[in-house]
Structure 1
Amino acid sequence: MKTTMWMSGILLMALGGCSTHTPDLLPTPKLSLPPSKTDVNQSGLEDPFCCMLPQDIGVKLPEFGPKVNDLDRFEQSLVPYVEQNGVDRDNLLEVQTAFDARYYAPWSYGAPPEKRENASWPLRAFRGGYGSNLRPVPPSWFEEISNQSNFDAYGTLNQKAVTLRWMDIRALPTDKPLYKNPEKAGDGYPFDLLQNSSVNYNEPIFVSHTTKDGAWSYIFTNNASGWVKSDGISIVDNQTITSIQKSDKVFIIEDNFPMRDAKNRFIAYTRIGMILPLEREEGDNYLVKTYDQNNIVTVVTIPKHSAHLGASKINKKDLITIGNQLLKNTYGWGGMYGERDCSSMIRDMFAPFGIWLPRNSAAQSRKGEVISFAKFSNDEKLAAIKSKGVPFETIIYLKGHVLLYIGTYQDNVLVMHNFWGVRTVDNEGNTGRHIIGRAVISTLELGAELDNYDPTMKLLNRVESMNIFTHAPLKLTRNAKAASTKKQL
């Protein structure tokens, strides 16, 4: 599977903020930006960022912008919503039984699971755009990247490996960003078109091939594919794979706890969604096995308050613990800077419960029982969510964005989502964003009270469906259309 992006829908993606699927070919932009204006700011200097040290600039930085009503009105903690709407499940759900097979899928591959033509889509999709200096990227750069990508060697290594650190997965083998148009809201920062996804520390992967210089490797995880730095992976043998898969699993439920080895040396930070094989238990700690670049086991310590042994039944305590950790996240397009976007937040939240979800928003929206909102009014959408939605087990979907339904509160439909910004439009028709930039709890009318709010882009107007991912997909009757997978209420 690969995570990709709809280039033509980038404005919609920016509003919600999830990597989505295969882009249209990106046209070569008009390679010009308007002449830059003289930069005179609070320091009184012209263009002060040219060659001065930050401490010499003396610019007064802004602090807080306008408040957003939802974020003040509703407590930004899961406690009241879980207490009112959450449940303690008595048994593991059917979807939890297949987690191991999905998680370790890359180690079952004998060859890349995608055709070369599909894997190499970025070489055709990207022929223009803007770089980190906000200037047009020259054609020669794309030619060199295409040559380095070495797709003639696709599927020649076919090696099983683990990652040695958390890493970005890139659409092209480079750290450099590519933006569609930095002048337009939703087409510039943070929406680096080359940020495909990310991969956890010590996660199972499959390696197809490397760049010609060997610096980058093309990999498949259980949910995405793309380029990572070669020094961040270690090839593992079948004996190691068997040992890992037979071990009991430790599921991480706390971000950013430092894991240390027997000599108290820092190894890595924990991250919700990470799964590690158990070596043994010692008092209040789990000792787990990790692997270095030489395929040698390093045992690290994780306190039991940061993890649990085996997949957990859905329960209120863990929903609060994990959810409140994720509500601390700022927004990270495609997982940039170690943060999460909308779909990766939901995916990671349910990994400790042994529920495997796809990486991108469109694929997540098709998981489980899907209920379409086609031709529904906004009132009908809200009524359907209230009557059919299962709190903490239902995804609400609109193009480019997914939200977790957390139930009703004071008769409001509430959702938890990691969100970039509220769409705005001024009197002259210029679009912009009021940046939220973090995980929040809100209604589906987030930001409606803001100046220049664009009512056509209200979340509630744009939601297309909801899906209860813990339910089995609906079976079609003989009279149902073969292509339809969505139920009308």
Structure 2
Amino acid sequence: MDAILAARGALQRALSSRTAATSDSQRCVGSTPHALRRFTRLAAVLPLIVLAACATAPNPESPPTAGHTTSAPPATRDNISRFPIEHYDQDVDHWIRPDAPGYDQPLLSAQEQTQRFDAFRARYFGTAPRDPSPWNGTWLATSLLNAGGAAQLADSQARRVSRFDNSRSGIRKTYGENFQPHTQAWIRAIESNMALAQLDADHASWPYDPRRRGITVDNALVRLLPTNDPAFYDFREAGEGYPFDALQDSALRPGTPVYTLARSQDGAWLLVYSPDLIGWIDARTVASVDARFVATWRDAAQRSLGAIVRHDATLSDTAPGTTTPIYRTFAPIGTVLPLVQSRDGRQMAMFPIADAQRHAQVHMAALDASSFVRMPWTLTPRHMAQVMKQQIGRPYGWGNTLFYNDCSAETRSLFAPFGVWLPRHSSDQLRAGRRTDLRDADIDTRLRTLAERGRPLMTLIHINGHIMLYLGNAERDGVSVPMTYQNVWGLSPADNSRRNVIGGSVILPLLKTYPEDPAVRSLAGKPLFEISVIGGSASNESTPSPGVDSPEEMPQ
């Protein structure tokens, strides 16, 4: 208040001086009296003086403090830079050469590819006792829909709630899109909406209920908890903040069979079992299916199943008696749908839409051979290159954020048209082939072993929660170096203090050092380094069914 009174007195004195100086200013045209200049400056800063006085005025209800501490300014985020990926040739044809002798030679035997495709299709639509399809009551009743499965599921969901409860000690704090830490009220509201009692083994009589079967009618983001709110770790840490929403897990494509395990209290979310994982999805992306729909869809998929090989292919149809297409949704690469021939010979994809009662109805979309191929598509370098050309250069999407791919979604999408199913998480994808653990080897041994044992286009490389595909070795500055195809966020130094961001699907050599930034650590130099060669023999590990919980990946 003293500051306000002092400022008001100064203003009054300046006004008096201005009046007295008016005649002087008329005698000296073009000059500004000192008092007038002072008044002008004072009038401009007066609101700031008043605001400062109000801001620093003591609160009579607050106890006096020994001294005033000025808050430190927020840290400037200088831990992100852009990696010049244009220094590295991104032309797929340069690395998978059309004039190479084996360009059209299959990379898997017909027998092995058929076996893998049969297993792929069984995950979606199988009826045998061990087929982990969401529509297979026999399998679900013995694996998940029992007291033990219910207890595991309830425990998993409770642990997820605890993981995002900032009020708990030892929990890594998460923040919202406004950079503010999530409150206890926020997580309690989510927990209440989950209605976890419905998963309690003591109350859940969990026989398989055909009415809980469904199918996705749109692309669906899979969330760890039933909320669209993001949960970021501290954005000031390298590799945190956007796009790394810790609640974002994956995405389901249109036409994916699901089984509903639980429903949120407000009805907006469904906890579903899918061929790939268990998670919460928006209820509006699912339609229920009856026995007739399931039989129709299964029969068509058994006769001919197709896969999307062009990014974001449009699924549209026309109303009877019209020719104007009705847009329904888009289908990312790797979407699988029954393939049928129309009466006029056109290639059609069956896809589901929901009617007014949220029951699934079969519709047809005309898709040409450049967008939709019959599975299993012969796994040749030509066909692999065709899919890569559609995916390369597209942005990185953590957990399929904005329906873009992250590292493991990229490899899943790449191999799906060929009938080779890969699990959602990068560490699990190594189960698809013969695995070699090189974590104890030095970087030279790792790169040499990769060149000696790896098969181009058929070898996965896993490093600390990141997965990539080996393309083969190429000469660079007189040295043979491994080339990779991957969807990667960026490179980091050994102390993990910053990110040199790439942020998309790229072709990148595994160099020991990168001349653009010699301080960043080679991807081949991370603590964990494993390779897995697909094909030639059965994998050395069984392929898991979707688990009740998801491991947390590590962004690169």
Question: What TM-score does the superposition give when structure 2 sets the normalisation length?
Answer: 0.69
1:64-213 to 2 correspondence within 5 Å? 65=82, 67-68=84-85, 71-78=86-93, 80-81=95-96, 83=98, 84=100, 88-89=105-106, 91-93=110-112, 94-104=115-125, 105-109=133-137, 110=140, 112=144, 114=149, 115-116=152-153, 117-128=155-166, 129-154=174-199, 158=209, 159-213=212-266
After superposition, the Cα gap between the structure-2 partners of 1:459 and 1:375, relative to the gap in structure 1 and judged at 3 Å, is: closer
Which SS does the other structure have where 2:110 is aligned? coil
Correspondence 1:330 to 2:395:
yes
RMSD (Å) for aligned C-alpha atoms: 2.7
1:420 match: 489
1:251 to 307, 317, 324: 307
Q: Secondary structure at the match of 1:183?
A: coil
Alpha-carbon separation, structure 1, partners of 2:376 and 2:94: 22
Distance across 2 between alignment mates of 1:397 and 1:37: 34
In the alignment, is the contact (CA less than 8 A) between 2:93 and 2:385 conserved in 1? yes
Alignment of 1:382-461 (within 5 A): 382-410=447-475, 411-424=480-493, 431-445=497-511, 448-451=514-517, 453-455=519-521, 458-461=523-526
Contact residue 284 and residue 303 of structure 1 kept, 8 A: no
1:270-294, Cα deviation, whole Å (9 max, x unpaired): 3211111134246674222222223
* 1:420 alignment partner, SS class: strand
Q: Compute the displacement of 1:261 (Å).
A: 0.4
The number of residues matched between the two structures is: 414
How much does 1:103 deviate? Answer: 2.9
Distance 2:282 2:414 in 1: 27
Q: Does the 8 Å contact 2:307/2:375 carry over to 1?
A: yes
Deviations 1:58-89 (A, max 9, x none): xxxxxx95624xx4233342553254475622
1:99: how far off? 1.4
Distance 1:321 1:257 in 2: 15
In structure 1, distance between residues paired with 2:508 and 2:532: 19
Distance 1:404 1:448 in 2: 19
Identity rate of aligned residues, in percent?
23
Q: CA deviation at 1:137?
A: 0.8
1:24-75 Cα offsets, whole Å, 9 max, x none, are: xxxxxxxxx9654899xxxxxxxxxxxxxxxxxxxxxxxx95624xx42333
Q: Secondary structure at the match of 1:365?
A: helix
SS in 2 for 1:323: helix
* 1:286 equivalent in alignment to 2:303: no
Q: Superposition pairs for residues 6-45 of structure 1, below 5 Å? A: 35-36=73-74
- Higher RCO structure (Cα 8 Å, ≥6 apart): 1
- C-alpha displacement at 1:393, in angstroms? 1.2
Q: Can you list the C-alpha shifts for 1:74-112, whole angstroms capped at 9, x where unaligned?
A: 334255325447562252424333111123312114454
Letter in 1 for 2:284: D
- Please identify, of 360-369 and 79-88, the stretch whose mean Cα deviation from structure 2 is larger: 79-88
Output the CA distance in 2 between the equivalents of 1:347 and 1:38: 37
Which residue among 374, 380, 386 is the counterpart of 1:309? 374
Aligned partner of 2:406: which letter? D
Select the structure of larger CA radius of gyration: 2
**AA aligned opposite 2:135:** W
Q: In structure 1, what residue type is equivalent to 2:105?
A: D
Sort the Cα spacing of 1:332 and 1:422 in 2 relative to 1 into closer, same or farther, 3 A: same
1:131 counterpart letter in structure 2: G
Cα distance, 1:379 vs structure 2? 1.6
Q: C-alpha displacement at 1:338, in angstroms?
A: 1.1
Q: How does 1:317-356 map to 2 (within 5 A)?
A: 317-356=382-421
Counterpart of 1:265 in structure 2 is 326
Equivalent pair of 2:439/2:527 in contact (CA under 8 Å): no
Does the 8 A contact of 1:171 with 1:194 survive in 2?
yes
Give secondary structure in 1 for the equivalent of 2:96: helix
**Offset at 1:469?**
2.7
CA 1:65–1:387 in 2, change beyond 3 Å: closer, same or farther? closer
Query: Is the 8 Å Cα contact of residues 444 and 460 (structure 1) preserved in structure 2?
Result: no
Q: Which residue of 1 aligns with 2:55?
A: none
* 1:192 partner SS: coil
Q: Kindly indicate whether the alpha-carbon contact (under 8 Å) linking 2:431 and 2:540 is maintained by their aligned counterparts in 1.
A: no
The answer (yes or no) to whether the contact 1:332–1:340 under 8 Å persists in 2 is yes
* 1:7 corresponding residue in structure 2: none
**What letter corresponds to residue 308 of structure 1 in structure 2?**
V
Aligned position for 1:44: none
CA gap of 1:176–1:34, structure 2 versus 1, over 3 A, is farther
Q: Residues 298 and 143 (structure 1 numbering): CA distance in 2 closer, same or farther, change over 3 Å?
A: same
Unaligned stretches of 5+ residues in structure 2: 1-70, 126-132, 167-173, 320-324, 543-556
